[in-house]
Homo-oligomer: A and B are copies of this chain.
């Protein structure tokens, strides 16, 4: 029980992957406070998942716990880093310097995780050559040439949906491996570029649904 059975990532349920960043953030805090071990009970109290959920989650990619001694914080953190692929520097370009683009550029949480924005592009004359969080906005016309010169892992799309397919193709042709898509355009690229859609309206609609569901429940009581 005390050794890690397997470091190999294979078939981890997507729901577990979704919770890993939550574990990861808390384990990072524990490391900063030099805490070496933590029990599933303490994790449960802090993260508001059940004991058994936590044990099941962590068992899905290895055995970290020793009965009575809890989990080894550093090992667990390192393995989660490896699973999520955040143990190395990941370079990104941001396309779109409007409000959403600006919020992304100023958002520092992912910098701590090894992601950094190497350049920002826009097509609007009034935005080109302005500076956002220390990064100068470049003309979108220069994007294909920039991608030839630099190895970029991820392209961020923060542009209107109608412009998204064309720019996504340029990013994909330029060799990015993934697109973080804030544009609300459902992109389907023919090659193997991976697209992650972010649609914050969906979470607002989900909240709205949960409010409605609760008030219906209360009306019945």
Pair B48/A84 contact, Cβ less than 8 Å: no
Pair A84/B208 contact, Cβ less than 8 Å: yes
What is the bound-complex CA distance between A199 and B23, given in angstroms? Answer: 13
Residues of A in contact with B, size category: 35 or more
Contacts of A204 in B (CB 8 A): 110, 113, 115, 154, 180, 196
Pair B21/A205 contact, Cβ less than 8 Å: yes
Residue of B nearest to A46 (CB): B186
Indicate with 1 or 0, residue by residue over A19-40, a CB within 8 angstroms of chain B CB atoms: 0111011000000000000000
Pair B203/A198 contact, Cβ less than 8 Å: yes
Which of A's residues lie within 8 Å of B, judged by CB? Answer: 9, 17-18, 20-22, 24-25, 47-48, 83-86, 90, 98-100, 102-104, 106-107, 109-110, 113, 115, 153-154, 177-178, 180, 184, 186, 188, 192, 194, 196, 198-215, 218
